[in-house]
Structure 1
Amino acid sequence: MPALPSRAAIARQPAGRHRTVSSLLSSIVGITLTTAILTATPLAHASADAIHPGHGAQASTLVRTTLGPIIGRDEGRSSGTYSWLGIPYAEPPVGHLRWRPPEPHRSWKEVRRAQRYGSGCTQPGRFFSPSPNGPFYDLSVRDGLQQPVGEEDCLTLNVFRPATSKRNLPVVFFIHGGSNVVGYSADPMYDGRELAKRAQAVVVTVNYRVGIFGWLNAEGLGDGDPLSTSGNFGTLDLIEALRFVDRNARRFGGDSHNISVMGQSAGAVDVWSLLVSPLARGMVDKAIPLSGGLSTAKVANARAYADRVIQAAESDYPSSGMRGVDLLRSLSADDLVRVLVKHKLDATPAVIADGTVIPSDPYAVLESGADRDVPVLAGNTLEEGKLFGSSIGAHKPSDYDRFTLQYSFDPDEPGALTVSDLLKDQYLPVDKPGGWNDAAAALTESIFTGINRDSLDALARSGNRSLYHYRFDWNQEPAPFDQVYGAVHAIDLPFVFHNFGRNVFSYAFSRQNRPGRLELSDLMIAGVRSFLTTGSPQHRGLGRTWDRWPASLVVDADDQHVHLGSVTDG
């Protein structure tokens, strides 16, 4: 097994890929899909060091990773996929490892079951958080709102692939959104089975530290270690997870030389951060940032935030006898979240332009040409800002009541619910000057489309000619959600993943709009599949040319059929 680098070695690593040794060993001695899944040969006969799981029917999902053997789920008959869930890629970031760079997980010899999602990372409960009961989406999510949910021991990833004999499949490394404060890879929107099957790809979804556990630049952290001092622990988690995928892609039937990093919202911000980070240089072959651009926090702002957190903790625990970072380390993860929520400090500055993990001038890196050869497929929804009504006090119900209402809403039996039940009078009617549509459009531009434009334009100035963008206009939800949310932030994700079951957007998906949305989902996934293999989302099913940036392909559908258009930005 290749030796895993120390933190100091990581800081010194050159820009190139870490592939040659691990890829060679994978192809020669690893128990890979070539010898197991791809040939349907029982693993016990695959090689001299094969593992005997005692479950012959599951041998098709037994894979030896660089850390140890795992056995996943064979759903070939039901979903046409194999999956491996909750694979630990780093040591639990607890105790002395809190606010330290991720340590590669210790290896194991016995077969490890990878059949259940790992816990979401500790966070203050919001709409896109896991349930207090675990990494699930259910009605109990509302009971965790503004409460600590998740666990500190959370650094796991999930792998999905088609249940076929194909090898050298493109790899998608997906980073969930949630303002880099909340979110979890087990969110049903991110179930990678359909995307893996339809795009013929290996799909990876990943947990990473969020909020104050993922980004904290405080005096006293680091002891001179530049990675710890940076405060970018969530970014370092993603780099460690990407390194695991880079080393193990071939063992799951993927192509380690064709890894596309995809993320949505804050996950898209993280995609851009990986493009500019010297520690991830060479590990990103293509990028798919959805609803997010390159955005970083200044060190001074991050340090000021850390000072406020310390002051809040000291005011809540005056008799602890501890101060500063020592006090923060002494608190349980849940108690620390309670401090943040109480003092309204849960909006953590991230990603931090520290000069080591993230360059001090990240836009200069984009313009330098370092990523000139990385194709980019970006996207935005038309009405991104309509998810953020709470930020301007537009929603009439409390978040608790709004979650309950949306969770219980039957899109096939809409009932008597009206726009005025959901939005305050000052924003009605929605199309009046200064109404909800105008207010949401201002949020869309200030938070999303402006930074997306800046990021793509910077790459274009570098000489990158493989830049593509879509605008998602679908707003066929039953009333009143067609006006309250419409083509809202993140609603394109169920289309990209082809997941229209129970999730935070279930209120939108009716029998009436099913034909059009399924056709639109198929078209979007076909574009992703083409992009993964060729670097261009162009495909025959479009019936038109997908022009490069600054043009955007407008994707939409009525209840029955897809409608495409084009606009020019920039």
Structure 2
Amino acid sequence: MTRVAAGLVLLLGLLVSGPAAADPSPRHGSPVLRHTSLGPVQGLDERRGSGTYSWLGIPYAAPPVDDLRWQATRTHRPWREVRRTQEYGPGCAQPGRMFSPSPDGPHYDLDVRDGLGQAVGEEDCLTLNVFRPATKQKDLPVIVFVHGGSNVVGYSADPMYDGRTLARRANAVVVTVNYRLGVFGWFDHPGLKTGDPLTDSGDFALLDQIESLRFVQRNATAFGGNPRNVSVMGESAGAVNVWALMVSPLTTGLMHRAIPLSGGLVTTPRETAQAYAAQVGAAAVEDSGGSGEEADVLRSMPADELVRVTLRHRIDAIQQVVADGTVIPTDAYGAIAAGRYRDVPILAGNTFEEGKLFGTAIGAHRPTDYERFTMQYEFDPDAPAGLGVDDLISDAYLPVDGPGGWNEASEALTRSVFLGIIEQSMSTVVAAGNDRAFYYELGWNEEPAPFDQVYGSVHAIDLPFVFGNFGRSFYSFAFGRANESGRLDLSTKLIGSISAFIRTGDPGHARLGTRWEQWPKSMVLDATKRRAWTCAGTFGGQGGAAAADDAALACDG
């Protein structure tokens, strides 16, 4: 494609990304009655609200319960009657954490804190959600989003991941997916082997995601999407999974763009995965009275009790895919170097202060998670009073900008957990010949005090900008009237880049005001309270508040 033709495609994408004429009703009845390969589904017609159609809680795979626990994902049995797909499916079984669903369902409210440290979610959970603009357009690009949560927690109904705004403004079909988590998603126990290489891989969560991509291939057309233009996007552990999908030999033809945010290619050796599984098995037998074969006890134990076993024994789940040799190569980086991966355009990203979400790991967060969740949930960003930095950060990390303070400590977390792995991942694909690798750094830190110092440009703060969702969520304390103009402008620019990327493989567009060059160059995205700004940067392994300040000076923001 010539540059002129690519520019015309990009311009068209930007022109149609705004509100479009509503689809009055297709020839064959309701615009939200669609026929999938599994059966008919009836969704939500929200033309007069969000300007979208949506289908929630579509089962894409057989429930992984009873004999199908720790089995390779199977396609759901077809249905004949119209299935109402107007409510989210339950989150998958998991230990309750900050980004988990409420104990009484897949919704976000103050009840989430009551599930902290408890077993929440359900084992029958393999559903996905589809959002699209309420228009008659066909062959729209498709975005499949894989949520984060350390591969241990999370759920597709998290309000940050609501796909309505992104679908309308990027003029795309957006799909969000539930997949097995923690002990159910990544479990390589010798006693559970069947002789089937897929089941014996232990990579059940990744097999779920692959099955969801197969559902998209079979059914994109039914929802007005283009099965030959599917971008897989994920954040945090979801980004780790996107990279894994790129190297899996099972994803041929299933993905055409990759958008991994705040995560890189990292795998778990089989020895580590099996040691974890053995620890869980021994704990399950102990809690069941000390008798019986591990495999039998594990298979028969209710899902919520198995989660409680891991909580009682403080067993940390593995957080990456298992390098089994079938689903994932034993040497994933070697596979890329040899050209055995999905060589597709990549749009990766990080926030400047990723590490500020993980203060609990080093004792930097003063309140308990229960107290911190309550403080954040009840905080009014339009009346920011009553909280100080010392209410949220321990004395050992104060002052935040002093030697050994919170800024310095969190920068070390940013570097050790995030930046090294993204540099290795991006540099490896570029060395292998990928010439369509792009990268952004988001520096937005305009939260009301004290959260501008406590969190700043923290891990996952880019997601509300990506999805255009600034309502009630984990980060809603950050979004008030004072910073509305700048953050909405920044969200428009970022969604514009996603819209361009999923169409052309290049995230650049005119509204950025700066040419977006390929890795190791980066695009710095930020905003004051009033306006967004961007500038060209270079990845240098930098992170933290100091790097954000340096970027602002360099860009004259």
Assess same fold via TM > 0.5. yes
Q: Is the 8 A contact 2:150 2:319 kept in 1?
A: no
User: Could you tell me which residue of structure 2 aligns to residue 227 of structure 1?
Assistant: 198
User: 1:258-302: per-residue Cα shift (whole Å, max 9, x none)?
Assistant: 000000000000000000001112211000000000010000000
Counterpart CA distance in 2 for 1:490 and 1:505 is 9
Determine the structure 2 residue equivalent to 1:305: 276
1:562, distance to aligned residue in structure 2 (A) = 1.0
Which of 33, 41, 44 aligns to 2:26? It is 41
Matches within 5 A, 1:42-441: 42-43=27-28, 59-319=30-290, 321-371=291-341, 373-441=343-411
Structure 2 counterpart SS, 1:104:
coil
SS of residue paired to 2:321: coil
Q: Work out the CA distance in 2 between the residues paired with 1:349 and 1:412.
A: 37
* Structure 1 CA distance for aligned equivalents of residues 207 and 74 of structure 2: 10
1:151-191 CA-to-partner distances (Å, cap 9, x unmatched) read: 00000000000001111000000000000000000000000
**What corresponds to 1:450 in structure 2?**
420
Root-mean-square deviation over aligned CA pairs: 1.2
Q: Distance in 2 between matches of 1:263 and 1:386?
A: 20
Q: Is the 8 A contact 1:100 1:222 kept in 2?
A: no
Q: Per-residue displacement from partner, 1:98-134 (whole Å, max 9, x unpaired)?
A: 0001111000111110100000000000000000010
1:181 and 1:483 map into 2 onto residues whose CA distance is 28
Identical-residue share of aligned pairs (%) = 60
Instruction: Give the AA of the match of 2:265.
Output: L
In 2: Cα distance, 1:322 partner to 1:348 partner: 25
Q: 1:469-480 maps to which residues of 2 (within 5 A)? A: 469-480=439-450
Distance apart, 1:252 and its partner CA: 0.5
- For 1:40, the aligned partner's letter is S
Contact 2:237–2:320 (Cα < 8 Å) also in 1? no
Q: How far does residue 39 in structure 1 lie from its aligned partner after superposition? A: 8.2
Measured in 2, the distance between the counterparts of 1:476 and 1:139 equals: 24
Amino acid at match of 1:501: G
Structure-2 separation of matches of 1:488 and 1:367? 32
> Does residue 504 of structure 2 align to residue 534 of structure 1?
yes
The Cα shift of 1:373 comes to: 3.9
Conserved? CA contact 1:384–1:444, under 8 Å: yes
What is residue 472 of structure 2 aligned with on the other side? 502
CA contact (8 A) 1:371 1:464 kept: no
Question: Could you state the TM-score of these two structures normalised by the residue count of structure 2?
Answer: 0.92
Letter in 1 for 2:317: A
Q: 1:462 aligns with which of 432, 439, 446?
A: 432
Give the Cα separation in 2 of the matches to 1:112 and 1:459. 42
* In 2, Cα distance between equivalents of 1:387 and 1:465: 33
Distance 2:337 2:451 in 1: 40
Is 1:124–1:346's contact at 8 Å kept on the other side of the alignment? no
* Letter in structure 2 aligned against 1:544: T
> Scaled by the length of structure 1, what TM-score is found?
0.90
Shift of 1:310: 1.2
Unaligned ranges ≥5, structure 2: 1-21, 541-557
SS in structure 1 opposite 2:227?
strand
Amino acid at match of 1:98: R
Per-residue CA deviations over 1:197-224 (Å, capped at 9, x if unaligned) read 0000000000000000000000111311
Matched residues in 2 for 1:517 and 1:227: separation? 44
- Structure 1 stretches of 4+ moved >6 Å: none
Question: 2: CA distance between counterparts of 1:385 and 1:407?
Answer: 21
What is the DSSP-based 3-state SS (H/G/I as helix, E as strand, rest coil) of the residue aligned with 2:482?
Answer: coil
Q: Check whether the contact 2:252–2:342 (CA below 8 A) recurs between aligned residues.
A: no
Counterpart check, 1:568 vs 2:553: no
SS at match of 2:190: coil
